[in-house]
Structure 1
């Protein structure tokens, strides 16, 4: 029997970003004893890097905004592949979640009359993003973190113990969801500093681990984003939905090489930034798709007037959805009109005075000044696409955030699939994690109350411990099959995904990627590390490789299967959207429950959009996006 520290809880939340903390708060307030496990330090989650704002139809900047318009924008952005019930709940509930944050102490920027200020973002018809300069994610995490602390203080006053009802386990990594038959019974984890094993028994587990970006060489994601939650759910028996849809944010830093991929917030364009190529041309006017022609300006004068009169509904083309802008930038670079370092130019200085830039975009000003020696109040930034977000994820029920097929498992935030369809609009991520973080915590607490105590299988614990320790005993079997260095394997994985399953995809390259991934998975079984469990980053990476390789295979297989271009998925050999694919989701599962299992892919027909929600769109638009049978159901 493996010696581990064991504790019993009602709900365990894996991840302490915005979705995880909101889930933990909700579960605790509904009476569940709740544990939170975070891979990094408490308050250091990747959510702090969400800069531009929280999308919510509060109508503070334009009285015409409402949840119906927000819903419509979200489905347009996702090319109608969104799980429509999730998009509806998100649009309806987002304003309440923002006002709730304010009651908990969030300090939003204000309008002149004292209301929460809202700014423009790509794909949103009206200014809709509640913001705190360009540090909105940091303020969100600070507020939720303080709410957690206040709940612990409340518990201390009642019980004399700060952590009896709500506890945060910092710098811990979960390697397996434990099960009692088909149901969840807890998680197996280890402390990153000491290597000590930890088992948290609980009938409910909420996965809120974020994204998969560290599988790609150029990414805006932080080191935690190794697809842990996606892989944990997959190994536990839950399917992953539409993993082909990976968002490449159009504007990441491209120079110097040490900071390539770091995010340049969309609020730069929302506040008037323009994109130009090496010829000085404002090129986005050449890339407005036909479906958007009526909403976007055709000339610079028309685009500039929009900032002074937002009611004219002719938006600058820089505010097209992210997938459209990323493809346009990629085309300009490929055709030889890029900046000196392989991007394009983003200029905000021509529309905003220096003092306004420093006030509204303080992080961007300091980021470029300190990392690239560029003064954005006087110079253009060099930017290019960077792997930023995955729209695919754990298949969940829209109302409860319950993962399919595994009773007691829930998911919220970026790790959950369906809400954003094939492309996410900027700002929708923060409201998504608040809306569905709350719903996940709510229903996880209800499930725990009904399910009762969760028994743990000792054999599963021993197996999980042995798998975690395997890198310390990895040995070369022959000279041709040596022990592998996890850092080398990670670099090869990132390069393969970047080159073969990146922003523009081709059948032959994705088949090559799948062969490379199979090779890497076999070699990863021989990944070895030296030393011991204390302070051993090589060990951490060796364990993370299992997750990254599993999830990368899901992305590549689904991208090869979907023979169309839609949202964040662009096939050079199938450049148009195919309405027949609009009704089809792709589900990834494992053929068995072990680390060596193969990924299986199945198709699923989506549920028709409810008629009253379809009525929000013009008939011409529906004809373009939807299969004919949908129009008459």
Structure 2
């Protein structure tokens, strides 16, 4: 059956008012918002239902509820986000996020998320790195999984269809407007042409371009970013990639697997191989709960300078915390380390190192509606840029999915209510099908080898610390690989495994090229973007790097970042006077 993939006779056509690409938190919240507006959407997920990348989000979700610290407010939340994003976030997007975060928590409670509560019934909130107050709601250390379980249950209650194991290859336009999407079933290769008036793109980021990442196979390959670029949308901030301070380094099959920030939030301490608690040398006030970029760079330096462990990591120790507390707050971490390597984290330290974790850049969107500038195309979640700037605060990604998934869904509903669905352009569909059939004959082993080479190249030359020589080498390698991809040997009948590998490679090369070009252009060090040859932050680089695709080439420009609202400016001015010592550990 799979050997006849992407032949026109086996393609099927269906219709839906709005297609949602991605079945994580952003996509599911968009689908619920659409249904609330009277639209019956269709959700397309790359993985099995209830197993989207969101399930890996462990630590929590932010909202200034004031349940633990009454002085907290949306303004302080916004100031934290902008300050720790090194002033590269879009202030309007951040304001919307922080104002509407409490409503997102209310929505999740309505859907049945069992957030932790104190004996008095109040929602518990924990500290995460670089937050001035406790504002992170949580469900143990499996918050993302609990959210997806509740969101899927709400989707089921509303009889919204999720097509799982679907790979979307093209967004189709007719007269410049969204008219459909083309996808194929990973299980049998059947092509599916979906006629739709609007698309909400919620397909994740691009961190799988790195050798060590917290993503699973076939996740975060940049396919959402590539889909948007190819239909004329812009992307932004691609040079800003968050490396989480703590990913597993051993055993090899677990390399890169996330070790949640909640470990440090509950009091975990970092030590080098000499037994030194080294964060005092990097941020003596906030220590292990400094910003993610600073902790990651500290870990990187300790390893680089020869104070790392035998497997190339550092030690993260929580054994000084009562075992009952660890069992209550970090059950997933206990299981994870017992499964990989038989480590009992209630007694022994964890071996960790930085891992590529989050795409802070992505599709450029309008703040209110998250429209992309392409009529009928909206985006939400990690696929987009705007919220995080040069460093993402832990807990902000899940609330971003909720707030802007809802807004994108509502905007898509408004769009289809005022625009008639346009028929798919048959010639365009035939061209896309033919291209898919060609890619489905790609030699899969060759494509996977090129992906491995790309990941090694990006890790070595465009990773945590960069310079012009390394970035230029990475760019030459990417260009050579694009030429290689064009002549990858064709092998036998078309097959879905070949097509999946070829599409992953194509999207990853495009995302990697945009990342490297943007990193070359930003001649400074700021947050997660660190240049050996430009170690200082340059005030005139408080700009957004924007990329677009013209004649199949990535073209860059820059735009100024607007000023925040007056009350946020005041909070930022007061930020330096706000004491944080002693407030970061409970």
Query: Under a length normalisation based on structure 1, what TM-score does the superposition of the two structures give?
Result: 0.88
Quote the Cα distance in structure 1 between the aligned partners of 2:171 and 2:341.
Answer: 43
For residues 193-592 of structure 1, the aligned pairs below 5 Å read: 193-223=187-217, 224-288=219-283, 297=285, 316-350=286-320, 352-404=321-373, 406-473=374-441, 485-528=446-489, 530=491, 532=493, 536-582=496-542, 584-592=543-551
Matches of 2:132 and 2:575, distance apart in 1: 18
SS of corresponding position for 1:132: coil
Partner of 2:570: 615
Corresponding position of 1:173: 167
Alpha-carbon distance in structure 2 between the residues aligned to 1:528 and 1:53: 46
Deviating more after overlay: 522-531 vs 321-330: 522-531
Instruction: Name the counterpart of 1:89.
Output: 96
Distance in 2 between residues matched to 1:453 and 1:472, nearest whole Å: 30
Unpaired runs of at least 5, structure 2: 1-6, 578-586
Aligned to 1:80: 87
Corresponding position: 1:188 with 2:182: yes
Cα distance in 1 for residues equivalent to 2:211 and 2:253? 12
**Alpha carbons of 1:47 and 1:452: their partners in 2 closer, same or farther (altered >3 Å)?**
same
Alpha-carbon contact 1:195-1:533 (below 8 Å) kept: no
Secondary structure (helix, strand or coil) at the match of 1:557 reads: helix
| Shift in CA distance, 32/472, structure 1 to aligned 2, threshold 3 Å | closer
For 1:128 and 1:355, the matched residues in 2 are separated by 23
Partner of 1:126, secondary structure, is coil
Q: State the alpha-carbon separation in 2 of the partners of residues 620 and 376 from structure 1.
A: 36
- Offset of 1:611 from its aligned partner? 2.7
Looking at structure 2, the residues matched to 260 and 141 of structure 1 have their Cα atoms a distance apart, in angstroms, of 25
Instruction: Describe the superposition over 1:225-282 as per-residue Cα deviations: whole angstroms up to 9, x where unpaired.
Output: 1111000000010011110000000000011112110000000000000111112111
Q: C-alpha separation between the residues in 1 aligned to 2:15 and 2:55? A: 30
Which one is further off, 324-333 or 521-530? 521-530
* Contact kept in structure 1, 2:64 and 2:72, CA below 8 Å: yes
Give how far 1:437 is off. 0.4
Between stretches 420-429 and 180-189, larger displacement belongs to 180-189
Is the CA contact (8 Å cut-off) linking 2:441 and 2:498 kept in structure 1?
A: no
Report if aligned partners of 1:238, 1:395 keep a CA contact under 8 Å in 2: yes
- The residue number in structure 2 matching 1:599 is 554
Partner SS state of residue 499, structure 2: helix
Residue ranges of structure 1 left out of the alignment (5+ in a row): 153-165, 289-295, 298-315, 476-482, 623-633
In the other structure, the counterpart of 1:111 is: 118
In structure 2, distance between residues paired with 1:170 and 1:620 = 46
Structure 1 residue 183: deviation in Å? 1.3
Q: Which deviates more from structure 2 when the two are superposed, residues 492-501 or residues 524-533?
A: 524-533
Q: How far off is 1:473 after superposition?
A: 4.5
User: 3-state DSSP class of the match of 1:119?
Assistant: coil
Partner SS for 2:466: coil
**Mean alpha-carbon deviation: is it higher for 225-234 or for 110-119?**
110-119
Confirm or deny that 1:135 pairs with 2:142: yes
List per-residue Cα deviations over 1:52-109 (Å, max 9, x = no partner).
0001111111111111111111011101110011111111111111111111111111
Secondary structure, aligned partner of 2:31? helix
Q: What secondary structure does 2:120 align onto?
A: coil
Distance 2:499 2:466 in 1: 33
Alignment length (residue pairs): 569
Per mean C-alpha deviation after superposition, the further-off stretch among 449-458 and 37-46 is 449-458
- Residues 405-453 of structure 1: CA distance to partner in whole angstroms, max 9, x if unpaired? x111101000010111111000000001000000000001101111111
Does structure 1 conserve the Cα–Cα contact (< 8 Å) formed by 2:379 and 2:408? yes
Counterpart CA distance in 1 for 2:568 and 2:486 is 49
Q: SS of the counterpart of 1:377?
A: coil
Q: CA deviation at 1:472?
A: 4.3
Match of 2:398, SS state, is helix
TM-score, normalisation: structure 2: 0.95
Deviation of 1:471 after TM superposition, in Å, equals: 3.0
CA offsets 1:192-212 (integer angstroms, 9 cap, x no match): 111111111112101001111
Q: Is the counterpart of residue 2 in structure 1 residue 8 in structure 2?
A: yes
Cα 1:46–1:532 change in 2 (3 A) is farther
